Amino acid sequence: MKYYIIAGEASGDLHASNLMKELKQLDNEADFRFWGGDLMAAQGGTLVRHYRDTAWMGVWEVLIHLKSIFRNLDECREDILRYRPDVIILVDYPGFNLRIAKFANEFGFKVFYYISPKIWAWNTGRVKKIKKRVDKMFTILPFETDFFAKQGVPVVYSGNPLLDAIHERKYKDEKREDFLSRHGLPDQPIVAVLPGSRTQEIERLLPDMLAMKKYFPEHQFIVAGAPSFSSDYYNNFLPERENVKVIFDETYALLQQAKAAMVTSGTATLEAALLNCPQVVCYKMWGGAFTDFVAKKIIIKVPYISLVNLIAGREVVTELFQKNMTGENLKEELQKILFDESVRHKIFAGYDEVRQIMGGPGSSKKTARLMWEALQKLVVSG
């Protein structure tokens, strides 16, 4: 069968690539065409557009790049019509993918949504559009599965693909001394710096994160480099005369060895939790106090911005959002998670709760099987 897959950021690239791998086990004639990244490309098929050219964060960035966004949408629609896939698989990335779902529905294409848009957090009114335009929703969090089911959306919980990625990670059993030796690092406690995978996230958060280095001279700060950026790009942010290293393609190995982490809100917060790394969650957009007010009073419909806290249903890790994302607050929270054992133990206990709720690995295989079975039924029913 012909699969058209759309993922718009690094995490989507990861999960879509694992899904593609499993779909190939079920479908010997699987043919992929996709918007995504390097990991998806490694599974074969045709990469139409890389996510580094399509990801925009925040209201202001979207507004100033509207022309590019509409051009990308037009290109995607035209490409789908030429390719005529048996199913379109949308992976998160709601601003773009919900528009493609509307188009696909109008032209009679089958639509699966994997890793649902976070409308339970941002815009609950969109659920009616999803019910109309999506043939099947495959969710990765129990609480969002319940939300969609109550709204009458065809939905199934297929487990969380992060569990697969972490279970199968490279350097899973690596010792700390081997990690340090392999990267030529000194024998100092590590603070992992995860500034995100989008240009806007990195530019807004990485300078604040690296500014912490001067307060913790006995620790080494290591940046987890996003695959779509080069070392030269990160060098623009590295403080002079400070020994800060950027490591690519080893975020899990880094978190596994780090004593603590500063993490941009997103999938990485859950990755840090599953790898048992104490963290402080950071997020900052354009607009300062105004955006903070709009987000908290009008847009955000949930009490937390990190997946860790949402899954646990309580504050397991501290979140520094918008006006609270200051140098003083970040320094204070980093101090706690590095040196206060009572705080660290509470975080570890919360992480245990999250792991218990999420279950074990096997999500990608399960999702592929559920998609394959659902697709067979849809094809038979016409």
How far apart CA 274 and CA 164 sit, in angstroms, is 11
Q: Where in the chain is the domain with CATH 3.40.50.2000?
A: 2-161+361-381, 169-358
Q: Which residue has the tokens 């528009």?
A: 99
Amino acid at 3: Y
**pTM exceeds 0.85:** no
Angle at 97 between CA 92 and CA 102, to 5 degrees: 140
**Dist. CA 140–CA 270, nearest whole Å:** 12
Q: From edge to edge, which strands make up the β-sheet containing 31-36?
A: 46-50, 31-36, 2-7, 87-91, 111-114, 136-139, 155-157
Task: pLDDT tens for the chain, 382 residues: list them.
Answer: 999 999 988 889 989 999 999 999 999 999 999 999 999 999 999 999 999 876 655 444 555 556 777 899 999 999 999 999 999 999 998 889 999 999 999 999 999 999 988 776 566 677 888 999 999 999 998 788 888 999 999 999 898 988 988 998 999 999 999 999 999 999 999 999 999 988 889 999 999 999 999 999 999 999 999 988 999 999 999 877 678 999 999 999 999 999 999 999 988 999 999 999 999 999 987 555 545 554 554 445 567 889 999 999 999 999 999 889 999 999 999 999 999 999 999 999 999 999 998 888 899 999 999 999 999 887 666 5
CA distances from 90 to 45, 111, 320 (A): 16, 7, 30
Tell the CATH topology of 169-358.
Answer: Rossmann fold (3.40.50)
Q: Span 2-161+361-381: which CATH code?
A: 3.40.50.2000
CA distance 83 to 85: 6
Handedness of CA 198, 74, 130, 112 (dihedral sign): negative
Q: How far apart are CA 184 and CA 153, in angstroms?
A: 52
Report helix angle 267-274 to 341-358, nearest 10: 100
State the pairing for strand pair 31-36/2-7. Answer: parallel
Picking from 167, 191, 216, 166, the residue whose alpha carbon sits closest to that of residue 279 is 191
Q: What is the pLDDT of residue 144?
A: 86
Q: What count of other Cβ atoms lies within 10 Å of the Cβ of residue 255?
A: 26
Phi-psi region of 49 (alpha: psi -120 to 50; beta: other; left: phi over 0): beta
Which residue bears the tokens 């899973």? 172
Distance, CA of 40 to CA of 17 (rounded, Å):
4
Q: What are 282's strand-pairing partners?
A: 264, 320
pLDDT at 54: 67
Q: Scanning the structure block, which residue is given the tokens 């918007």?
A: 35
Please return the burial class of 294, using the count of CB atoms within 10 Å of its CB with bins 0-12, 13-18 and 19+.
Answer: middle
pLDDT for the residue 59: 45
Q: What is the pLDDT of residue 294?
A: 46
- Rounded CA gap, 271 and 338, in Å? 18
